[in-house]
Amino acid sequence: MCLGIPGQISAITDTTRHLAKVNVGGVLREVNIACIAEDGADPQALIGAWVLVHVGFAMSRIDEDEAKRTLQILDELGELQAEHQAMQTSGARA
């Protein structure tokens, strides 16, 4: 359910109707940005932002720092596993 895909806003096409062009892997599609536009803020500031697109609507901004944090947790987990394994191997030799 609920297919959503990350894309990057490349232009604001209609300020009053909250429309913007979003780029997904080089394919462009006009999407509605009413759900991510902040009241009173200049929509031009959204250019370059990464958003999650569902049925032609940008439903959420993607938080780059959180994405990095998620991946970092996995990197750390990997290092931990490697250390653990190294310890086990050296333990076995001793």
| CB 81 to other proteins: min, Å | 6
* Strand, coil or helix: 35: coil
The residue assigned the tokens 């913007």 is 20
* Cα 78-82-83 angle, rounded to 5 deg: 120
| CB 92 to other proteins: min, Å | 18
Would you give the binding string for other proteins spanning residues 5-44, x where CB under 8 A is met? xx-x--------x------xxxxxxxxx-xxxx-------
Residues 6+ apart with CB under 8 A from 61: 36, 49, 50, 51, 52
Residues that bind other proteins (CB under 8 A): 1-6, 8, 17, 24-32, 34-37, 50, 52-57, 59-60, 62-64, 66-67, 69-71, 73-75, 77-78, 81
